[in-house]
Structure 1
Amino acid sequence: MVTEREQGLTTRDGFGSALGTKAITARGELGIPYTTLRLMDKLQKHTTWHVTFTSVSGKCRSATHDNYLGDEKVIFKSQASSMIKTPSSRAVSRLLPLCAKAPTPAASSIARRSLATVVEPIQKDPTELDEITTLPNGVRVATEALPGHFSGIGVYIDAGSRYENEHLRGVSHIMDRLAFKSTTKRTSDEMLEALESLGGNIQCASSRESLMYQSATFNSAVPTTVALLAETIRDPLITEEEVQQQLETASYEIGEIWSKPELILPELVHMAAYKDNTLGNPLLCPKERLDKIDKSVIEAYRKAFFKPERIVVAFAGVEHKEAVRLTEQYFGDMKSEDSPELSRTGSETSLDSASEASSTSSSESASAPPSPVQQSSNLLSRLPFLKNLSTSGPTQASVLSDLSLPPTQEQILAPSQYTGGFVALPVLPPPINPSLPPLTHIHLAFEALPISSDDIYALATLQTLLGGGGSFSAGGPGKGMYSRLYTNVLNQHGWVESCVAFNHSYTDSGLFGITSSCTPSKVVQMLDVMCRELQALTLENGFSSLQMIEVNRAKNQLRSSLLMNLESRMVELEDLGRQVQVHGSKVGVREMCNKIDQLTVQDLRRVARDVLQGLVKNPGQGSGAPTVVLQEGEEGNGVKRKQLAWAEIQDRISRWKLGRR
């Protein structure tokens, strides 16, 4: 075996450094069987090295290499002090008999090798090439440079109905409708024309915890898109005429949604579960608030939430340096306008003196706002057509007594408080179309885990395992036809129209449960079936307990759904922006899939018990009670039945050992 031993490297100047050297393998037509020599990469005009090396034959030789302005001569000096001085190529040829025998097979293989083998490190998954930079003013820039024909650009603002107080109630709903209207630089028509010229997809949407401006556009149009997003976010004109137009549109939209139980009941579940606080604030603008919203209220909302430290600008398919440059150009000079903050002195609360100058006269003597657990605004009781409202929570949240004040920092940072409760809507009249059956709609929910919980993957797997759908389905592989709500409910009871599991996750709380529709005469049986399916998730033994085969199926379905959804540029963009907004970092899809794969039956059973038995411990310290929203349907034959009371519903749920006892 050929061994390599470097004996030394010195120069006439006495420097023994190996810096700046590279390895050169002796090879070529001369067939020199020497191992690697370490020589300086760049030769000076007059430099001499004395190198000792070992040949394949094991004989030690030393050499001195002189370079005189390119006139190279090599002097090989043997240990016997025999001296040969000749041009380098000839000297090498003459020394072959002296230095080595004929090349061995091993040496020949080395001589034939022309290139070195380079072992490259394992590359990152393309979906994990994310970077995050925070600008000096607090704006966060997040990128995921996954290449494609289209790029995604999104601006995510920490705003939404969760942060609204009574003065700003419903403004988030109007804000997303005022996007991409007139600005200080162009009219509404000019803005529309500029958007259409991009040839992509651009939109604005509000949720409970975020206001999202998003676009998918051609790569070449990224700078223009960022400029338009910045313009509509930072420099909107917001005329009274535009506000009035959007209020009229919102009024029609509210009426339409209230006429559709499948749309309004999820909204009422939130309002009952978090009565009069944070996540219970209506996502839709209440009708009684429409005539109280004007340009000044919109500006107050913008001043409270449109701050650089509350903004994330996300890019999908854009290089990070370019993304940072564009964000600095259009958002880098954005400054935070401090809103009045509360400073406590003993048991009193007053506005900071620095903020009093910009506050209204009514706010100068403002007292401390009530605690989120002191009194109720009874928002649900003022909703149209609301018949009955009960709460399981011992306390309810409140709003500011002075309605002219914007939300305080204390309110914005207040944790959501789960109360649980019951909402009963008026009886639905029979459908106008006689071919459609009358239906009763039920939502049953419990407080679940926040998005930051380590068990969120187990909860998502439980939702997939329950699955569900409508009475009609095209079927086929991968559509959840073997999920529990299909096999145990829809395929077993002909009076069930639909039965679906849901899971809503937020920053500090969540909701998990089942929604269903059934024949009006079967409402009691439907409630029992829903409770039975939820309780089965917690059982340790028995035929209905969780089985490995269905858990593995649910895990595969969840991974498949996750990966297929992320193929969409808009989904990829929102996932990046919202993760950075909530966590401050990005969890890669590979890591998410690994966490799903590591789940066991015991993990799912433990999480199911925590959620369904009211044992979840979130910052708001919820009541652990169930939440039920019910809208019964009127039977076509005119038969009127006695509606279920909240006490009876609670008793039935308790029999199934659900909720905190």
Structure 2
Amino acid sequence: MIQREVLPNGVRIVTENISYVQSVALGIWVGVGARDESDKLRGVSHVIEHMLFKGTPSRTAQQIADEIDTVGGDINAFTSKENTCYHVRVLSEHVPLALDILTDMFLNSSFDAEELGREKNVILEEIKQRDDEPDDLVHDLFAEVTWPGHVLGKSVIGTPETVSSFNSDDLRSYIKNCYTPDTIVISAAGNLNHDEIVAYVASKFGDLTGSISDWRAADTTPEFQPGQIYVEKPIEQVNLVMGVPGVSQLSDEKYALSILDNVLGGSMSSRLFQEIREKRGLAYSVGTYAQSYQEGGYFAFYSGTGAATAEQVIDLIKAECVNIRKNGVTEKELQRSKNQFRGGIVMGQESMNSRMMRMGRNELNYGRVLPIQEIMDKINAVTVSDIASLSERLFAKEEFSMATVGPAPGSVTESDEDEEETEE
């Protein structure tokens, strides 16, 4: 059973007691991320995420790691464009310790200047790693060219210039402005006691004050721009992402888009996987994904293929968009996708971490945890006609934004030239 409590200052607590397991997943969520950063603070949410592991007045960074490892738990965090999450998973008997460590990190981090200097170097290396991995870089580039000028088009990781510029006061100021009670959700799933967690959270978080509305800029819908960006790298494959406008996380159309995603490229039986990989052998990786935020979204196609075949892959993707817009999906495809969606949800419920993540995201996005049955009812209500209407809106203009990383599409790579000389 999912239980929910809201403290007088607005901090929310959602838990789900699963009595037949022996572990608990805990998360402290903050409904802020890269979309809340100014140009000068680009990447600060991600830097704060790193720094919360670097010590408090009562624990060093080493002690934080040691205390979790000693009880066989694991602790981690992530930053996205709309939220940040600090999470831990432990055996049920160690919930008090896990709560204490997470809370200490969240409320009492020291932001030592020397530690910050070292961690900024770590993040600069992380940026270099991202830039060296074309299958990561291309997705950031696609968002930037698709939504130029909008905060959702900016990278979570920041830039070398902004990351290098941060000092401890920048981090403290951002936390004061953004880590406010109305943005904080504590979620937990597993063999737990709801009342005990609420009592602990109230004792530690109950005195927090402030509101994100005092600082946050108003939401604005990102305007899709069908632009193109190409980054040349001396690698074997063209890594490409191309896409069209999608839907907001708050729109019920996201359920129809989930079906469309599955039919086009979301599984091994999908049209593009079968056509591009299985029938033609043009790519190892090919697929689709829907990226939805509260303010808007996009629907993207991705693939990695040789320079000589990149244009053919692009043409095949465009042709399938035309085909599905004109001819729609079959009842068989629709039912198969619904079954896959249901299977994913049900199997996800077998993981305490997945349950905790779902509750945290739901609370931040919708102000409540959506019941599984409600989600399934909306998925089951999607019709062939719904998919046809959505496809018409998404693909009618046949205008795509595109990002590519690697050799220029249509070019011959150095290795290809060597093979041709050998054959001659």
TM-score by length of 2: 0.91
The answer to whether the 8 Å contact 1:274/1:416 transfers is no
Match runs of 1:252-267 below 5 Å: 252-267=125-140
AA aligned opposite 1:197: T
The answer to whether the 8 Å contact 2:307/2:413 transfers is no
Aligned-residue offset at 1:497? 3.6
Matches of 1:227 and 1:334, distance apart in 2:
17
In the other structure, the counterpart of 1:446 is 244
Aligned-residue offset at 1:546? 1.2
Matches of 2:314 and 2:136, distance apart in 1:
20
Matches of 1:146 and 1:451, distance apart in 2:
28
Aligned-residue offset at 1:192? 2.4
Matches of 1:606 and 1:563, distance apart in 2:
28
Greater relative contact order (CA < 8 Å, ≥ 6 in sequence): 2
Q: Deviations over 1:367-407 (max 9, x none)?
A: xxxxxxxxxxxxxxxxxxxxxxxxxxxxxxxxxxxxxxxxx
In the other structure, the counterpart of 1:628 is 402
Aligned-residue offset at 1:499? 1.5
Distance of aligned partners of 1:255 and 1:569 in 2 relative to their CA distance in 1, 3 Å threshold: same
Q: Deviations over 1:446-476 (max 9, x none)?
A: 12111221121111111111236xxxxxxxx
Q: Secondary structure at the match of 1:555?
A: helix
Aligned-residue offset at 1:170? 1.1
In the other structure, the counterpart of 1:154 is 27
* Structure 2 gap segments, 5+ residues each: 418-424
Q: Deviations over 1:97-138 (max 9, x none)?
A: xxxxxxxxxxxxxxxxxxxxxxxxxxxxxxxx2222210111
Q: Secondary structure at the match of 1:316?
A: strand
In the other structure, the counterpart of 2:421 is none
Matched, 1:170 2:62: no
Q: Secondary structure at the match of 1:521?
A: coil
In the other structure, the counterpart of 1:621 is none
* Structure 1 gap segments, 5+ residues each: 1-128, 342-407, 431-437, 469-479, 615-623, 641-661
Deviation larger for 628-637 or 575-584: 628-637
In the other structure, the counterpart of 1:462 is 260
In the other structure, the counterpart of 2:352 is 569
AA aligned opposite 1:629: A
Matched, 1:601 2:378: no
Matches of 2:94 and 2:204, distance apart in 1:
15
In the other structure, the counterpart of 1:528 is 315
Matched, 1:419 2:224: yes
Aligned-residue offset at 1:588? 1.4
Question: Residue 12 of structure 2 is aligned with which of 112, 137, 140?
Answer: 140
Matched, 1:428 2:233: yes
Q: Secondary structure at the match of 1:176?
A: helix
The answer to whether the 8 Å contact 1:268/1:423 transfers is no
Matches of 1:273 and 1:425, distance apart in 2:
13
In the other structure, the counterpart of 2:202 is 328
Question: Residue 488 of structure 1 is aligned with which of 240, 256, 275?
Answer: 275
Matches of 2:300 and 2:212, distance apart in 1:
39
In the other structure, the counterpart of 1:503 is 290
Aligned-residue offset at 1:527? 1.6
Q: Deviations over 1:268-291 (max 9, x none)?
A: 111112212221121112012232
Matches of 1:188 and 1:637, distance apart in 2:
47
Matches of 1:536 and 1:275, distance apart in 2:
29
Max Rg structure? 1
Q: Secondary structure at the match of 2:309?
A: helix
Q: Secondary structure at the match of 1:582?
A: helix
The answer to whether the 8 Å contact 1:448/1:511 transfers is yes
Q: Which has the larger helix fraction?
A: 2
In the other structure, the counterpart of 1:402 is none
AA aligned opposite 2:394: V
Distance of aligned partners of 1:130 and 1:613 in 2 relative to their CA distance in 1, 3 Å threshold: farther
Matches of 2:213 and 2:381, distance apart in 1:
48
Q: CA RMSD of the aligned region, Å?
A: 2.1
Matches of 1:240 and 1:625, distance apart in 2:
48
Distance of aligned partners of 1:340 and 1:490 in 2 relative to their CA distance in 1, 3 Å threshold: closer
In the other structure, the counterpart of 2:330 is 547
Matches of 2:193 and 2:415, distance apart in 1:
65
Q: Secondary structure at the match of 1:538?
A: helix
Matches of 1:164 and 1:327, distance apart in 2:
28
The answer to whether the 8 Å contact 1:536/1:546 transfers is no
Aligned-residue offset at 1:320? 2.8
Matches of 1:450 and 1:323, distance apart in 2:
33
Aligned-residue offset at 1:632? 4.3
Matches of 1:566 and 1:635, distance apart in 2:
47
The answer to whether the 8 Å contact 1:227/1:330 transfers is no
Matches of 2:360 and 2:242, distance apart in 1:
31
In the other structure, the counterpart of 2:299 is 512
In the other structure, the counterpart of 1:202 is 75
Matches of 1:302 and 1:215, distance apart in 2:
21
Matched, 1:235 2:108: yes
AA aligned opposite 2:15: T
Matches of 1:179 and 1:221, distance apart in 2:
21
Q: Secondary structure at the match of 1:453?
A: coil
In the other structure, the counterpart of 1:587 is 370
Distance of aligned partners of 1:335 and 1:549 in 2 relative to their CA distance in 1, 3 Å threshold: same
TM-score by length of 1: 0.60
Overall identity of the aligned pairs, in %: 24
Aligned-residue offset at 1:625? 5.3
Matches of 1:529 and 1:199, distance apart in 2:
49
Q: Deviations over 1:469-500 (max 9, x none)?
A: xxxxxxxxxxx432211222222323334311
Distance of aligned partners of 1:439 and 1:176 in 2 relative to their CA distance in 1, 3 Å threshold: same
The answer to whether the 8 Å contact 1:420/1:625 transfers is no
AA aligned opposite 1:467: G
The answer to whether the 8 Å contact 1:442/1:631 transfers is yes
Q: Deviations over 1:68-99 (max 9, x none)?
A: xxxxxxxxxxxxxxxxxxxxxxxxxxxxxxxx
Deviation larger for 243-252 or 144-153: 144-153
The answer to whether the 8 Å contact 1:203/1:214 transfers is yes
Q: Deviations over 1:562-613 (max 9, x none)?
A: 2112211111101001101110011111222222222221122222222333
AA aligned opposite 2:203: Q
Matches of 1:555 and 1:638, distance apart in 2:
44
